[in-house]
Amino acid sequence: MKFQIEDVTVYFPYDHIYPEQYCYMIELKRTLDAKGHCLLEMPTGTGKTIALLSLITSYCLSKPQSPMKLIYCTRTVHEMEKTLAELKILHNYQIKHLGPQARILAIGLSSRKNLCVNPTVVAAENRDSVDAGCRKLTASWVRALASENPDVAMCEFFENYEKAASAAVLPPGVYTLQELRAFGKEKGWCPYFLARHMVQFANVVVYSYQYLLDPKVAGIISKEMQKESVVVFDEAHNIDNVCIEALSVSVRRQTLEGATWNLSRISQEIDRFKATDASILRAEYNRLVEGLALRGNLPITDNWLSNPALPDDILKEAVPGNIRRAEHFLHVLRRLVQYLSGRLDTENVEKESPVGFVASLSSHAGIDQKTLKFCYDRLHSLMLTLEITDTDEFLHIQTICDFATLVGTYGRGFSIIIEPFDERMPHIPDPVLQLSCHDASLAIKPVFDRFQSVLITSGTLSPIDLYPRLLNFHPVVSRSFTMSLTRDCICPMVLTRGSDQLPVSTKFDMRSDPGVVRNYGKLLLEMVSVVPDGIVCFFVSYSYMDGIINTWNDSGILKLVFIETQDVVETTLALDNYRRACDSGRGAVFFSVARGKVAEGIDFDRHYGRLVIMIGVPFQYTLSKILLARLEYLRDTFQIKEGDFLTFDALRQAAQCVGRVIRSKADYGMMIFADKRYSRHDKRSKLPSWILSHLQDANLNLSTDMALHIAREFLKKMAQPYDKTGSSDKKTLLSQEELEKLGDGSMHEMSY
C-alpha cells in the first residue's frame, strides 16, 4: 500500500497496516523532522521493523537531495538477517512503484568469521583466530614478501579484490550476509573487505551495536559515517548494559601470565629487528615524536582495533618520551603487569577510584597518567612495526593496554574493584581486578553528538522515563504504544500462592522452602495437563534452576523437559528437539533463565509457546560489588534510587521473557508471573503498558487452582473463530481506503 504522512509518500509492502504501525511512523517522522533523538516502545509482534524501514527509506526517497543514510543496529546476526530480509521485500515493492530511482544499496556487515570465504581461514574455531588467520595472508608486509617469494601463502580472494581495484563494487540491491558470501565466491573477491569498502557508499547499513558503541571497533568501522545518518538501535532495552560492557575490562591471573608471555615474545621480535633492520625501529621512533595521527591512513588489512578511549585529540599529541623507544615501552608494560600482579595478591575486597589507582601506580611503579593514556596506541604501533600477524596470540597484552588507556583517560564514572574470590564460591581462590564503567552515557554520547537522529526502540522500554536519565540525553519524542486487538489474545496472570494457600516467591529467605519448591512444581504439572502445546518456564538464575530441577527430579515431578545450559551447542540442540516435540502434537516444556541467550533472542511463537511461566523476579545479584558501585554512582550522579533501578532492571528482564510468547496478532498466549511480589503496585507498574492493559484486577492475586480455571477458559475462548480486521468501531487492520478515510486526529486517538 501507498499513503501520505504529511509531505512524505510512504511505501508499505503489505495490503494492510496496523493502527499502531501508522502511529509509530508518525512519531518517527516527527523525530526526523526535528533532527532529534527518540524513545519508542512498541509491543512485540506488531511489525516494528517493517514500519521503521518503510518510513525511513520513504523519507529518504522524498528528499533525494539529502545524503541521509540509515544505520540499523541489531544485537545478533539472526536479527540482522531478519531485518535485511524485510528490507528486501520493501525494496522490491518500492522499485515496482518507482522504477530504477528507488534503487538503493543495503548491506549487512559482520565479522570475518561470518563473511570470510577462504576455507583455510574460516575453519578456525573462534573469531579472534579467524581475524589472525586473515592477517597472516593479507597484511601489507606479508604481501610484499610474497611478491619476492612465491612460496609465501596469500589469500586469492583478497588478491583478486585488490586487482579489481575501483571495479570491485557491489551493484545496487539488498545483500544479506549469505548473499554477500555468494557474490564474493562468484566474483572471486573477498566479501569482508568488499563490504567494509562499500559501507561508505551504502544507503542502509545493518550491523551490530558494538560497531557504534565500542570505541575500539567504532573508530575503524564507523568513522566515515556522515552526520546526516539516522541511527536505529533495535531491541534496545539493554542498551545501557551494552554501553557499560564496551568500556569495562577484567584482569585475572591468566591475563597477567599471558601478558608476560606476550612481552617476552615482543622482546624477541625487537631483538630480531635490531639485528636485521634497525632502521624500521628508528623510523617508528621519529614518527612517534610527531604524534600518532601522523601515522597516516593504514592499509585496510593492517587496521587493528582503534583506541578504546574516545577523545581524538590524544592522537595529535606527541607520544611521551619514556615509551617512544620500543624497549622502554616494554619495560613500562612489565612494571605495569608486575604492579597489577601485586594488587591481585589480596585477601580483602578493595574498591578504588581511577584517580586513586593512578596515583598509587605512579608512586609504586613510576608510571604516570599520560603514559597510561597512550599504551593502547603505542602497542598497536609496535605490533605493526614488528609485523606481527598472529594477533589472537596477543589478546592478553591488548587487554592490559586497554585497561591502562581507559584508567588513564577517565577520572569519573569508573571504579576499580579487586575481589580475591567469587562470593558465591568463597572456597575457590579466583582473584579478579575489574575496571568497571558505571556511566552508560560515556559510550553512547559520541553517537548522540555525531548523528542527526538516534532512535531507541524495543518492545520493553518501561518505565520509559528512566532511559533519558541513564543515557543522559533529551529525546524529542518519547512514546509507549499499546496493541490494538480484535480479541484478548494475551492473558497475563499474577500467581501469589499455591493450591495449599502458601505464598510463592524466590525471595532469598523463601526460595529454598520445600513448600515453595513443591508449589512451583505443582503449578507446572497442573498447567501441563491443561495447555496442549509448548510451555516455556523462566527461572531467575542458573543456580536456582539447577537446584529446583534436582529437587523436582528427586520427588518424581519431572517427565520430559528441555533445558537451556550455558553451552551454546547444547542449548541449540535442546531447542531443536523441543520444537520437534511441539510439532509432533504432544507439547513440551522448555526450562530457561532470565538474562540468558534464549530470553534475549529466541521467539516461541504459535504452538511453540502457549504459556510462559516467570518463576520469581529476576533481580541482579544484589551483593555484587560492581552492581553496588554502579548503584552508588547512579544515586549520586543521576539521583536514581537503588530500589528504583533494581526494580526497573528486574521488570524489564521479566517483560522480555514473557514477551517471547506473543509474536504476532494472530498468535495467542498466557503469561504467569509466579511470585507474590508482582501483586505489589510499585513492582507491577514497571511492566510495559501493552502487558498491563490486559492484566485484569481479577487476575492479580491468584492461587494455582484459580490460574488453572482461567487458563482453561482462555484456551476455550481462543479456539473460537474471530474477525482478524476487527469491528467497525475498533479496526485492528487497516486497508489503504480505510487509512485514507481516517484523519490523523482519529488515528492519534486510537493509539492512546
Sequential DSSP letters for 284-346: HHHHHHH-GGGG-PPPTTT-----SS--SGGGGSPPPGGGTSHHHHHHHHHHHHHHHHHHH--
Question: Above 50 in pLDDT, residue 706?
Answer: yes
Nearest to 95 by CA among 57, 64, 65: 57
Q: Which region among 6-10, 131-135, 276-280, 622-626 has the lowest average model confidence (pLDDT)?
A: 276-280
pLDDT above 70 covers what percent of the chain? Answer: 94
Average pLDDT value for residue range 694-718:
94
Q: What mean pLDDT comes out for the span 544-552?
A: 92
Handedness of CA 45, 46, 48, 52 (dihedral sign): positive
pLDDT tens for each residue of 152-165: 899 999 999 999 98
711-740 pLDDT per residue, tens: 999 999 998 887 776 655 567 888 888 888
Confidence at 290, pLDDT banded by 50, 70, 90: low
Instruction: Establish how many alpha carbons lie within 13 A of residue 535's alpha carbon, considering only the half-sphere containing its beta carbon.
Output: 22
pLDDT tens by residue, 201-249: 999 999 999 999 998 888 888 777 888 899 999 999 999 999 999 999 9
Residue 735 · residue 15 · CB < 8 Å: yes
pLDDT value, residue 725: 67
Tell me the C-alpha distance between 116 and 135, whole Å.
12
Classify 384 as helix, strand or coil: helix
* DSSP at 171: P
Q: Is the peptide bond before 463 cis (omega within 30 degrees of 0)?
A: yes
Residue 652 CA to residue 240 CA, distance in Å, equals 12
Residue 412: half-sphere exposure toward Cβ, Cα within 13 Å:
6
Q: Which CATH architecture has domain 490-719?
A: 3-Layer(aba) Sandwich (3.40)
CB of 157 closer than 8 Å to CB of 118: yes
Which H helix or E strand runs over 23? helix 19-34
User: Where would I find the beta strands (DSSP E) of 68-135?
Assistant: 70-74, 105-108
- Model confidence at 427, pLDDT cuts 50, 70, 90, reads confident
pLDDT tens per residue across span 304-314: 566 676 455 45
Compute CA 14 distance to the chain's CA centroid, rounded to the nearest angstrom. Answer: 29
Q: Which three cell numbers stand for residue 386?
A: 614488528
pTM: 0.91
Q: Is the pLDDT of residue 504 over 90?
A: yes
pLDDT of residue 728: 53
Other Cβ atoms closer than 10 A to 684? 18
Q: Is 558 exposed, middle or buried (0-12, 13-18, 19+ CB in 10 A)?
A: middle
More confident: 359 or 294: 359
> Distance between CA 496 and CA 510 in Å, rounded?
13
Rg of the chain taking only CA atoms, in angstroms: 28
Is residue 293's pLDDT more than 50? no
pLDDT reported for residue 295 = 47
Q: Is the pLDDT of residue 653 over 80?
A: yes
Indicate the SS3 state at residue 203: coil
State the number of CA atoms in the 13 A half-sphere of 67 facing the CB: 8
Do 632 and 423 contact (CB within 8 A), yes or no? no
| Location of each CATH 3.40.50.300 domain in the chain | 490-719
Buried b (16+ CB within 10 A) or exposed e, 202-226: bbbbbbbbbbbbbbbbbbbbbeebe
**pLDDT tens-digit series, residues 102-138:** 899 999 999 999 999 999 999 888 888 999 999 999 9
Query: Which residues, 6 or more positions from 347, have their beta carbon under 8 angstroms from its beta carbon?
Result: 420
Q: How many CB atoms lie within 10 A of CB 687?
A: 22
Alpha helices in 531-641 (DSSP H): 542-554, 568-583, 597-601, 625-638
E strands, 109-198, in order = 173-175
Mean pLDDT of the chain: 89
Would you say residue 747 has pLDDT above 60? no
How far is residue 615's CA from residue 136's CA, in Å, rounded to a whole number? 50
Task: Let me know: does 189 contact 165? Beta carbons within 8 Å.
Answer: no
Q: Which SS3 state, helix, strand or coil, does residue 231 take?
A: strand
- Separation between Cα atoms, residue 175 and residue 152, nearest integer Å: 33
How far is 109 from 118, CA to CA, in rounded Å?
A: 17
Q: Which helix (H) or strand (E) holds 430?
A: strand 429-437
The confidence band for 591, taking pLDDT boundaries of 50, 70 and 90, is very high
Q: State which H helix or E strand residue 80 sits in.
A: helix 77-98
Give dist(CA 4, CA 11) in Å, integer: 9
Instruction: Retrieve residue 37's grid coordinates.
Output: 533523538
pLDDT the model gives residue 752 = 45
705: buried, middle or exposed (CB in 10 Å: 19+, 13-18, 0-12)? exposed
**Residue 85: what are its φ and ψ, rounded to 5°?**
-65, -40
CA–CA distance, 619 with 350 (Å, rounded to integer): 24
pLDDT for 294 equals: 43
Q: Give the pLDDT of residue 111.
A: 92
**Burial (CB count <10 Å: 0-12, 13-18, 19+), residue 33:** middle
State how far the Cα of 523 lies from the Cα of 316, in Å rounded to an integer.
64
Would you state the cell numbers that stand for residue 38, as one nine-digit string?
A: 527518540
Residue with cell 510495559: 688
- Cell numbers at residue 430, please? 579466583
Contact 633, 413 (CB under 8 A): yes
